[in-house]
Amino acid sequence: MIELKNVTKIYGKKKNQFTALKNVSLTIPTGASVAILGKSGSGKSTLMHAISGLDKPQKGQVIIDGQDILQLKSKRVDEFRAKKIGFIFQSFFVQGNESVVDNVSLPLEIARVPRKKRAHKINAALKAVDLYDKRKNRAKDLSGGQKQRLAIARAIVGDPQIIFADEPTGNLDSETGAKVEELLFDYNKQKGVTLIVVTHDADLAKKCDHQIIIKDGRVEKSTVPGGIKHGR
């Protein structure tokens, strides 16, 4: 389970301060698929960064499997992220000049998986997204949909417990988008991996078990039973 308790994130200093998350408390059940919705600037990315330990809120708790990750030293947070979380972020995108295999290998190197164990995991991830035939290609020579599938392979290669996907179908045509969605939901259901999707796409959001709507740095609505606990 992922639990946020009274999380407040402030950007900037003094006069330029901006509170992007205001006392946010929410719950995400293990193995659920959850859509995070909200207008541009509402705080969705800030929330994802807080949950994944990419950024440190000034206040509150981010409890994952019973551990408050805000209490961990930054090296431990990096390890935790490398082992437990897979990212499909536009900004985290592939190294174009490197091969498909090398791109998928990267998270395993960060998680210090021994070289001998990597090949098997990489091949399995590439087969899962149907990119095994392209494994020697340079990443930049793939089509848009193939790049997105490569991003999924990279996100799942380390057997994460949680997958974050930021607009995973944003730049894809509807047919390719549908395939990418299917891959993500299959993985969520088959492996019991928690899937957290940030999206503006109402249809994609509806396919998730739960929806959490963020407005002006607060949780406006959550369909997780008992999912909003109003902090004082």
Ligand X SMILES: Nc1ncnc2c1ncn2[C@@H]1O[C@H](COP(=O)(O)OP(=O)(O)OP(=O)(O)O)[C@@H](O)[C@H]1O
Q: Interface with ligand X by CB under 6 A: which residues? A: 11-12, 18, 20, 38, 40-46
Shortest distance, position 17 Cβ to ligand X, whole Å: 9
Nearer to ligand X by Cβ, of 166 and 181: the residue is: 166
Nearer to ligand X by Cβ, of 38 and 60: the residue is: 38
Separation of alpha carbons 225 and 181, rounded Å = 25
CA 210 centroid distance within chain = 16
Shortest distance, position 135 Cβ to ligand X, whole Å: 32
Nearer to ligand X by Cβ, of 45 and 161: the residue is: 45
Shortest distance, position 201 Cβ to ligand X, whole Å: 12
Find out whether 198 and 166 touch, Cβ atoms under 8 Å.
Answer: yes
∠ CA(45), CA(126), CA(194), 5° rounding? 40
Positive/negative CA dihedral, 41, 64, 85, 191: negative
Shortest distance, position 44 Cβ to ligand X, whole Å: 4
Nearer to ligand X by Cβ, of 11 and 186: the residue is: 11
Separation of alpha carbons 50 and 219, rounded Å = 14
